């Protein structure tokens, strides 16, 4: 079996961080013998035989093998329909998380010293003025989190999962692990995706305004584990 339109599938997982050019494009991981794409928050990984295209091997491996959690029989499935029902509960807003700093309010920048060295420093985000938010056209409020059991994931990360399922024409993704701040799912045989959580339930309503329990939508997981 080969994947159709693999670029559409892989592109949402690629990063755009100017300091991490190795993540700008899909690549071949020689340790896993697999094609990968990641932005350090979300990851898709597939057996080489699934892809038509050839992808370059990174000169310096990212160590993806070390971040993959141990697979378990969780009995949980992520439903495309249920995921969309969660999204339906998220309101529209003109206030959004700043795309430059990701809501943090500060960004890294470099400057050249008198000796010619380049140093990296953290400064107030020039786009949002340090607030972490910007005002724009009305759309789904990306500040919201989707909670799966005790882990809270960014809405925009779950949209990537939803779009992946849509592209693959699958109704469910089997959860291989939901632990250590990670959601690890099997999309198709030989094709898996990993999503880092934004925070755990116990971290809500602390000093970080981005971790507001009022901005959390629960994904329905049955007490028996399945859904």
Residue 80 belongs to a domain: no
- The secondary element (H helix, E strand) that includes residue 157 is helix 155-168
Q: What is the Rg, in whole angstroms, of the alpha carbon atoms belonging to the chain?
A: 19
- Distance in Å from the first CA to the final CA of the chain: 27
CA distance linking residue 177 with residue 183, whole number of Å: 6
In tens digits, the chain (227 residues) has pLDDT values of 678 889 999 999 999 877 788 899 999 998 889 999 999 999 999 999 999 999 999 878 788 888 999 999 899 999 999 999 999 999 998 888 888 888 888 888 877 776 777 777 888 999 998 888 888 888 898 889 999 999 999 999 999 999 999 999 999 999 999 998 999 999 999 999 999 999 999 999 888 878 899 999 999 986 444 55
Looking at the DSSP bridge assignments, the partners of residue 43 are 38, 194
Q: Tally the domains of the chain.
A: 1
Contact, 55 vs 28, CB < 8 A? Answer: yes
> Looking at the domain assignment, is residue 116 inside a domain?
yes
Is residue 125 included in any domain, yes or no? yes
Is there a domain that residue 109 lies in?
Answer: yes
Task: Judge whether 110 lies within some domain.
Answer: yes
d(CA 146, CA 164): 17
- As a whole number of angstroms, the distance between CA 15 and CA 157 comes to 13
User: What is the C-alpha separation between 64 and 33, in angstroms, rounded?
Assistant: 11
Domain that holds residue 112: 92-139
């Amino acid at each position: 079996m080969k994947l159709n339109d693999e670029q559409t599938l892989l592109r949402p997982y690629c990063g755009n961080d100017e300091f991490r050019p190795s993540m700008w494009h899909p690549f071949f991981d020689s340790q896993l013998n697999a094609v990968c794409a990641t932005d350090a928050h979300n990851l898709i990984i597939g057996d080489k035989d699934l892809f038509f295209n050839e992808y370059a091997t990174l000169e310096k491996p990212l160590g993806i093998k070390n971040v993959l959690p141990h697979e378990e029989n969780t009995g949980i499935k992520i439903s495309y329909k249920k995921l969309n029902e969660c999204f339906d509960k998220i309101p529209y807003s003109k206030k959004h998380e700043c795309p430059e700093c990701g809501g943090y309010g500060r960004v890294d920048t470099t400057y050249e010293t008198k000796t010619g060295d380049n140093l990296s420093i953290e400064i107030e985000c020039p786009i949002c003025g340090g607030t972490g938010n910007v005002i724009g056209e009305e759309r789904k409020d990306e500040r919201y989190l989707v909670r799966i059991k005790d882990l809270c994931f960014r809405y925009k990360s779950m949209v990537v999962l939803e779009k992946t399922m849509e592209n693959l024409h699958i109704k469910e993704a089997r959860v291989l692990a939901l632990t250590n701040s990670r959601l690890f799912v099997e999309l198709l045989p030989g094709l898996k995706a990993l999503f880092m959580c934004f925070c755990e339930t116990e971290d809500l309503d602390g000093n970080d305004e981005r971790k507001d329990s009022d901005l959390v939508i629960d994904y329905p997981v049955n007490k028996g584990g399945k859904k």
